[in-house]
Amino acid sequence: MDTTVDSGNAAATSGTTTVYPFIRFDDVSLRYGGPGGTLAVEGATIDIPKGGFVSIVGPSGCGKSTLLKMVSGLIAPTSGRVVVGGKPVTGPLGFVGMAFQNPTPLPWYSVIDNVMLPLRIVEPYRSTFRARYDEYRAKAEALLEMVGLRGFGEKKPWQLSGGMLQRASLCRALIHEPALLLLDEPFGALDAFTREELWQVLQELWLARRPTVMLITHDLAESVLLSETVFVMSARPGRLLHSEAVPFARPRGLDVMYEPEFVSMVHRLRTRIGNARADGMKGA
Amino acid sequence: MSASLLANRYVIKVFPVVFVALIFIAWELLVWLTGIKSVILPPPSAVIYDLVTKFPLIWPHAVQTLYTTMVGFLGAIVVGVLLGALIGSSRLAYEAFYPVLIGFSSIPKVAVVPIFVLWFGVGTIPAILTSLVISFFPIVVNVATGLATTEPELEDVLRALGAKKRDILLKVGLPRAMPYFFASLKISVTLAFVGTVLSETVAANKGIGNVMMVASANYQTALAFGALLLLAIMGVILYGVFALLETRFAGWSQRKADLALQSH
């Protein structure tokens, strides 16, 4: 990621060269299943600065997850382009950390071995995995401690609760210190208390390491609590309707959620989504 | 069945033995009470007597059958894993090979023995091949199915990390397919015996299948039954061996069964 050109929020033109933000969606559309297929995303233009934390919210099926897959290079846009670190994305980026609603641990590995899985795949860790195993293991243990799983490394995944597995899944996404973290509704299947706790964990991890984070979520309060900017998408085909910077100071405790500005921002976003849904119904 | 009886581990262990003994007793009684001629249905006592007294005569044949079966079965594992990995990881290979495989597995294997004999002559090789072709199919299907159980999200995580198809296959797909693989081995090893004996009864001068042919031609029904019994015993032992290997190499998938047993 040495080629990355740091910049402010938006792409700035300095002289003759365009300076890109860390991630740029440039009028991106995606149609599944060839011409005549489903248009999942239409004309999305999004800029995300390096080290930023953005949330993307919208009605279900609006192509939020599709955006993530395009950033990571798992699928290519039908038109427009995605630029990460100044280079157009043409295939899997090979360094991205990802976590989903389903924590998908490998059942034959212990928790710590699951956390270390990316190190068996990503260079330069891969070729030094055996030689520097102890060092990497200590790294994984430190991460587990950060998310409150100290002493659970030797357990097998089935011995952990859903919330604990999701913590481990976050560790797995972060172990190789990725510059980009993609989260697709990681807290969607958790109970309210575990979710609140993991919001704090994620915020701490982000403040400590400052990866660029894209969070997909249905939970508006979650998006406002965690991110710097919230993007609202329309119902299918997903278009970008609205974006709003979140003004609250870091670190944000759970108390901030009960402040009037917070509540009114969530309400504002909720209204946008409501409109998006109604539009979607009319279109259908 | 009362719960307290099932909860006792020793009772569970003894149960199969008791059941086999009950079958033998019922069989013995049936022969006694109906007075069936021994040449039609010998009582188990006569069968076991024949098996024990003629053991030195039968043993080399049992070794031959065991050897043939194991070689054929090893071949089936190699072919099965390779084909299964290919079909399970490539959509193209799946579309291309699956119909052919289904067609092939539908052919009664007794029909291919004469062809093997035509190619390789009477003896061990047709038996090995029959054993192989009869037992590789469940392995192919199970390995392919096991590979298909890899969660798409996990695949996305790994691909986003730059994992190649080969990485995903070796680090996730094949380990994940292990429980399916071992389940198929337990089925396939018994099928491999069927293949061997099938071929031996048609075209061989050694092996348990041959012993049975000769015995029945000479109306030594008790000996034929004894050979059958020996086959069954070997089958059970091999099944046990693979069940043990399964616990050793894919034990992580069996904890649910353990828990279910404990919760009763």
pLDDT band at B76 (very low <50, low <70, confident <90, very high): very high
Domain match, B188 and B175 both: yes
Average pLDDT over residues B245-261: 67
Q: Which residues contact B114 (CB under 8 A, 6 or more apart)?
A: B202, B203
**Does the residue A119 lie in any domain?**
yes
**Does the residue B144 lie in any domain?**
yes
Task: Give the model's pLDDT for residue A52.
Answer: 92
**Does the residue A99 lie in any domain?**
yes
pLDDT above 80: residue A2: no
- For residue A142 the two structure tokens come to 């430190």
pLDDT band at B15 (very low <50, low <70, confident <90, very high): confident
Q: B176-226 pLDDT, tens per residue?
A: 899 999 999 988 999 999 999 999 998 888 999 999 999 999 999 999 999
Q: Which helix (H) or strand (E) holds A196?
A: helix A192-209
**With helix as H, strand as E and coil as C, how does chain B read?**
CCHHHHHCHHHHHHHHHHHHHHHHHHHHHHHHHHCCCCCCCCCHHHHHHHHHHCHHHHHHHHHHHHHHHHHHHHHHHHHHHHHHHHHHHCHHHHHHHHHHHHHHHHCCHHHCHHHHHHHHCCCHHHHHHHHHHHHHHHHHHHHHHHHHCCCHHHHHHHHHCCCCHHHHHHHHHHHHHHHHHHHHHHHHHHHHHHHHHHHHHHCCCCCHHHHHHHHHHCCCHHHHHHHHHHHHHHHHHHHHHHHHHHHHHHHHHCHHHHHHHHHC
pLDDT above 50: residue A125: yes
pLDDT above 60: residue B2: no
Task: Give the model's pLDDT for residue B10.
Answer: 76
The three-class DSSP label of residue A222 is helix
**Does the residue A179 lie in any domain?**
yes
User: Which residue from B130, B96, B146, B154 is spatially nearest to A106, judged by alpha carbons?
Assistant: B154
> Is any Cβ of chain B less than 8 angstroms from the Cβ of A118?
yes
Domain match, B2 and B54 both: no
Q: Which of residues 231-260 of B touch A (CB under 8 A)?
A: 250, 252-253, 255
Q: A4-57 pLDDT, tens per residue?
A: 444 444 444 444 455 568 999 888 888 888 788 888 888 888 899 999 999 999
Domain match, B78 and B126 both: yes
**Does the residue B192 lie in any domain?**
yes
Amino acid at B236: V
Task: Give the model's pLDDT for residue B259.
Answer: 42
Q: B121-172 pLDDT, tens per residue?
A: 888 999 999 999 999 999 999 999 898 888 888 888 888 888 888 888 888 8
> Is B78 or A102 the better-scoring residue by pLDDT?
B78
**Does the residue A29 lie in any domain?**
no
> Is any Cβ of chain A less than 8 angstroms from the Cβ of B169?
no
pLDDT band at B6 (very low <50, low <70, confident <90, very high): low
Contacts of B163 in chain A (CB under 8 A): 121
pLDDT above 50: residue B83: yes
**Does the residue B100 lie in any domain?**
yes
State the average pLDDT for chain A.
85
Domain match, B182 and B236 both: yes
pLDDT band at B5 (very low <50, low <70, confident <90, very high): low
**Does the residue B63 lie in any domain?**
yes
Say whether the peptide bond before residue A124 is cis (omega within 30 degrees of 0).
yes
Average pLDDT over residues A81-96: 86
Q: B262 to chain A nearest CA, in Å?
A: 16
Contacts of A102 in chain B (CB under 8 A): 151, 153
Q: Are strands A53-57 and A79-84 parallel, antiparallel or unpaired?
A: unpaired
Cα(A230)–Cα(A64) distance, rounded to whole angstroms?
Answer: 13
Interface touch A108/B252, C-beta < 8 Å: yes
> How far lies A164's CA from each of A119, A190, A195, in Å?
21, 10, 11
CATH of the domain at A158: 3.40.50.300
**Does the residue B262 lie in any domain?**
no
Domain match, B61 and B12 both: no
State the average pLDDT for chain B.
87
Alpha carbon dihedral A226, A82, A27, A35, in 10-degree steps, equals -120
**Does the residue B142 lie in any domain?**
yes
Q: Are B238 and B189 spatial neighbours (Cβ–Cβ below 8 Å)?
A: yes
**Does the residue A28 lie in any domain?**
no
Q: Give the whole-number percent of chain A exceeding pLDDT 70.
A: 89
Domain match, B86 and B185 both: yes
Q: How many structural domains is chain A composed of? A: 1
Domain match, B81 and B169 both: yes
Task: Give the model's pLDDT for residue B151.
Answer: 85
Nearest Cβ partner for B171 among A74, A96, A120:
A120
**Mutation choice for B interface testing from A1, A75, A90, A96 by most B CBs within 10 A:** A96
Q: A230-256 pLDDT, tens per residue?
A: 999 888 788 888 889 999 988 999 999
Angle at A160 between CA A169 and CA B244, to 5 degrees: 105
Domain match, B31 and B43 both: no
Task: Give the model's pLDDT for residue A9.
Answer: 41
Give this prediction's pTM.
0.77
Q: A168-205 pLDDT, tens per residue?
A: 999 999 898 899 999 999 998 888 888 898 899 899 98
Nearest Cβ partner for B160 among A93, A108, A156:
A93
**Does the residue B263 lie in any domain?**
no
Q: With left for phi above 0 and alpha for psi between -120 and 50, is residue B145 left, alpha or beta?
A: alpha
Q: Give the whole-number percent of chain A exceeding pLDDT 90.
A: 38
**Does the residue A12 lie in any domain?**
no
**Does the residue A206 lie in any domain?**
yes
Domain match, B62 and B157 both: yes
Task: Give the model's pLDDT for residue A18.
Answer: 56
Q: B162 to chain A nearest CA, in Å?
A: 4
Say whether the peptide bond before residue B114 is cis (omega within 30 degrees of 0).
no
CB contacts < 8 A, A to B, total 65
Domain match, B11 and B70 both: no
Task: Give the model's pLDDT for residue B22.
Answer: 94
Task: Give the model's pLDDT for residue A278.
Answer: 63
Nearest Cβ partner for B161 among A96, A102, A156:
A96
Domain match, B99 and B119 both: yes
User: Which residue from A175, A160, A28, A167 is spatially nearest to A88, judged by alpha carbons?
Assistant: A28
**Does the residue B55 lie in any domain?**
yes
Overall residue count recorded for chain B in this entry: 264
Q: How many structural domains is chain B composed of? A: 2
CATH of the domain at B167: 1.10.3720.10
Domain that holds residue A179: 51-65+91-283
**Does the residue A258 lie in any domain?**
yes
Average pLDDT over residues A147-169: 90
Average pLDDT over residues A59-81: 87
Contacts of A93 in chain B (CB under 8 A): 160, 162
Task: Give the model's pLDDT for residue A226.
Answer: 95
Minimum Cα–Cα distance from B251: chain A residue: A108
Domain that holds residue B183: 39-253
> Is any Cβ of chain B less than 8 angstroms from the Cβ of A176?
yes
Q: Which helix (H) or strand (E) holds A43?
A: strand A38-48
Domain match, B105 and B148 both: yes
Supply φ then ψ for residue A54, to 5 degrees.
Answer: -115, 150
